[in-house]
Amino acid sequence: MLYRRNFEQTKIVFTNKLSSELIKRYSKDLLTLVISEKIAKLYPFLIKEFKECSIDVIPFPDGEKVKTLNYFNKLCETLLERKIQKETILCAVGGGTLLDLCGFVSSILFRGIKWVAVPTTLLSMVDASIGGKTAINSKKGKNLFGSFHFPLEVFIDMNFLNTLPESHLRDGLVECVKCGIIRDKKLFEMCLNANLNDCDSLKLIVKKAQEIKFKIVSKDPYEQKGERYLLNFGHTVGHSLEQYFNYRISHGRCVAKGIVLESALSYIQGYLKKEDFLNLKESIEKISSQTPPIRNLKLVWQNMAFDKKNKEKKVMYVPIKAIGKPALTSPFLAQINFKTLNKAFFMVKSHLSKINFDRTI
């Protein structure tokens, strides 16, 4: 399957012959492959194939811990030791964390080299490999050092999902559900009924979620017009929770909680009907397991001070009006304060949503 898009020429290629597809398209002398150590272990035949084609292969750790300046430096130095050059094409094989790191490294080394993404988690297939955002974290917040650097191509081999643990499949499904909530009620329902063991139905969901992300990104590739903010629904709270839990709780789970809390905020601020909020809460809780208890909401709030959507030091989020519909037009953002967040938090936590909970703040 091949998609062509105008912006930055990124193509998505569905394949089950990764190494031959890469060799067909790129000179093996130019390719350097950075692969997640876990994938290298799980798929030794891939390493063998790449080595037989004389492609330089660098196994590298993954997980949120690699999205730091320390690992950024390690990867840059390793690549220089391997004598990569300005014309090198970096091929990154792994989940969203390794792709974010490799994309960022590619945008910096020699002031930018080309790169290709091979996502191996559901989340990275539908989200992290698409849209050209690359980033690592600062102690102050998530994804604060980054760049826009679009991969030339994204190669999707759905077979990678056969070894992905169910919890990580669910993480990916959360980003698909998010696409449904902001743009497509049908996709939302498909996600709720998804059979995680059925590759064909997952492929359909992947393609629909990618289409939605592509459409939004192509209107605003460099996040200058505000269109892209829509994709950040659930992420003002989600990113802040990741940092609050010291990145021990996955991106998908934190975003799931972020979706529930931002839906509560949408209800409290008068954008979303109560039954839609309750439906959303129940649906998300079916898809993703709960985060541990949040004991210090002030800290969560403080983390939000570094959210990249903030305007004039005010914390912003993306409210929704109904499943499939944002509440506002571009740039889609509304302001929140601590009092409203606190109210949303208690509404979700205490299950007051089940009985009458008034909107006044």
Ligand X SMILES: NC(=O)c1ccc[n+]([C@@H]2O[C@H](COP(=O)([O-])OP(=O)(O)OC[C@H]3O[C@@H](n4cnc5c(N)ncnc54)[C@H](O)[C@@H]3O)[C@@H](O)[C@H]2O)c1
Complex with ligand X: residue 179 or 260, whichever CB lies closer: 179
213 binds ligand X (CB under 6 A): no
**For 207, phi and psi rounded to 5 degrees?**
-65, -40
Check if the beta carbon of residue 206 is closer than 8 Å to that of residue 160: no
- Select from 19, 88, 97, 232 the one that contacts ligand X (CB under 6 A): 97
Beta-strand ranges (E) seen in 79-200 are 89-94, 114-119, 133-138, 141-148, 153-156
Complex with ligand X: residue 102 or 268, whichever CB lies closer: 102
Complex with ligand X: residue 143 or 236, whichever CB lies closer: 143
- Select from 160, 229, 277, 332 the one that contacts ligand X (CB under 6 A): 160
Between the alpha carbon of residue 361 and those of residues 235, 321, 340, 343, the distances in Å are 23, 19, 7, 8
- We find the least distance from the C-beta atom of residue 62 to ligand X, in angstroms, to be 5
326 binds ligand X (CB under 6 A): no
- We find the least distance from the C-beta atom of residue 83 to ligand X, in angstroms, to be 27
The alpha helices in 271-310, defined as continuous H runs, are 274-287, 297-304
228 binds ligand X (CB under 6 A): no
67 binds ligand X (CB under 6 A): yes
- We find the least distance from the C-beta atom of residue 119 to ligand X, in angstroms, to be 7
Distance between CA atoms of residues 128 and 174, nearest Å = 13
Complex with ligand X: residue 182 or 347, whichever CB lies closer: 182
Check if the beta carbon of residue 74 is closer than 8 Å to that of residue 39: no
Kindly state the tokens that stand for 262: 């931002």
Binding residue count for ligand X, defined by CB under 6 A:
30
164 binds ligand X (CB under 6 A): yes
Taking CB under 6 A as the binding criterion, the range among 44-52, 156-164, 314-322, 350-358 that sits at the site for ligand X is 156-164
127 binds ligand X (CB under 6 A): yes
The residues in 25-44 that bind ligand X, with binding defined as CB under 6 A, are 36, 38-39, 42
Distance between CA atoms of residues 174 and 177, nearest Å = 5
Distance between CA atoms of residues 181 and 160, nearest Å = 26
With CA atoms as reference, report the closest residue to 271 among 216, 354, 330, 334: 334
Taking CB under 6 A as the binding criterion, the range among 3-11, 124-132, 214-222, 273-281 that sits at the site for ligand X is 124-132
Residue type, 193: N
- Select from 128, 169, 190, 316 the one that contacts ligand X (CB under 6 A): 128
Q: If you count them, how many residues does the chain have?
A: 361
Pairing mode, strands 114-119 and 89-94: parallel
Residues within the interface to ligand X (CB under 6 A) = 36, 38-39, 42, 62-64, 67, 94-98, 100, 120-121, 123-124, 127-128, 131, 133, 143, 160, 163-164, 168, 171, 251-252
